């Protein structure tokens, strides 16, 4: 079964609104979670690394004020796309891993965001 749950799986919103996406690790504690974005027919792109109890680390070119990340507990990280615009329409995916060497990444099922 899934070990990382992402919600919602699909969202359609109007331009200017904010959308929150949740990523939960179900049976392990994830001190680190990652957020990605993937446009159609393109590679996965890492947006940010989310660390429990501290600020997220954003990749170059990703606006931290637009993509707000909160990792308030060891099992939950949220990504909020603020003031969404049509160009933010994409497939957003999270992943989480355990803290021990050898722990693989487990990906959430992704959120397909469409901004109209």
Partner 1 sequence: RKEVEQDPGPFNVPEGATVAFNCTYSNSASQSFFWYRQDCRKEPKLLMSVYSSGNEDGRFTAQLNRASQYISLLIRDSKLSDSATYLCVVICYNNNDMRFGAGTRLTVKP
Q: Which residues bind partner 1 (CB under 8 A)?
A: 32, 34, 43-44, 46, 49, 51, 91, 93, 95, 97, 99-110, 112
CB of 114 to partner 1, least distance (A): 13
CB of 112 to partner 1, least distance (A): 8
What phi and psi, each to the nearest 5 degrees, are found at residue 27? -135, 20
DSSP 24-62: EESSS--SEEEEEEE-TTS--EEEEEEETTS--EEPTT-
Minimum CB distance to partner 1 smaller for 46 or for 68: 46
Minimum CB distance to partner 1 smaller for 65 or for 100: 100
Pairwise CA distance, residues 1 & 27, whole Å: 10
Minimum CB distance to partner 1 smaller for 66 or for 112: 112
Helix, strand, coil percent content, the chain, rounded in steps of 5: 5, 50, 45
CB of 101 to partner 1, least distance (A): 5
Minimum CB distance to partner 1 smaller for 9 or for 83: 9
CB 24 within 8 Å of CB 43: no
CB of 16 to partner 1, least distance (A): 26
């Amino acid at each position: 079964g899934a070990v990382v749950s992402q919600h919602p799986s699909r969202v359609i919103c109007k331009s200017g609104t904010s959308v929150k996406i949740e990523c939960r690790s179900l049976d392990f504690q994830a001190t680190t979670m990652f957020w990605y974005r993937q446009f159609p027919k393109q590679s996965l792109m890492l947006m940010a690394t989310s660390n429990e109890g501290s600020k997220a680390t954003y990749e170059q070119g990703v606006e931290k004020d637009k993509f707000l990340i909160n990792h308030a507990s060891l099992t939950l990280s949220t990504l909020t796309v603020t003031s969404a615009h049509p160009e933010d329409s994409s497939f957003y995916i999270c992943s989480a891993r355990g803290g021990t060497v050898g722990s693989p990444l487990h990906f959430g099922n992704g959120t397909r965001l469409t901004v109209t």
